[in-house]
Amino acid sequence: MIALGSDFDGIDGPHQLENAAFLPLLADALRKEGFTEDEVEGIYYRNAMRFFEENL
């Protein structure tokens, strides 16, 4: 996984992320599970930024 996307079409099963407006809930849950702020930011956008900078 490079980063999170905001297109939730095609996701099956129960989930609390109805649309992109709910992404902060996931960040909060990751922090509660012990992810550092740096790790959360990596998941949300830094990994994608690094990928594009290195490959485009």
Tens-digit pLDDT profile for residues 3-19: 777 777 766 766 777 77
The predicted pLDDT at position 1 comes to: 63
Distance separating alpha carbons of residues 6 and 33, to the nearest angstrom: 22
The separation between CA 1 and the C-alpha centre of its own chain, rounded to angstroms, equals: 9
Write the pLDDT tens digit of every residue in 8-56. 776 676 677 777 888 899 999 999 999 999 999 998 999 999 999 999 9
Distance separating alpha carbons of residues 18 and 2, to the nearest angstrom: 21
Answering whether pTM is above 0.85, one says: no
The predicted pLDDT at position 34 comes to: 98
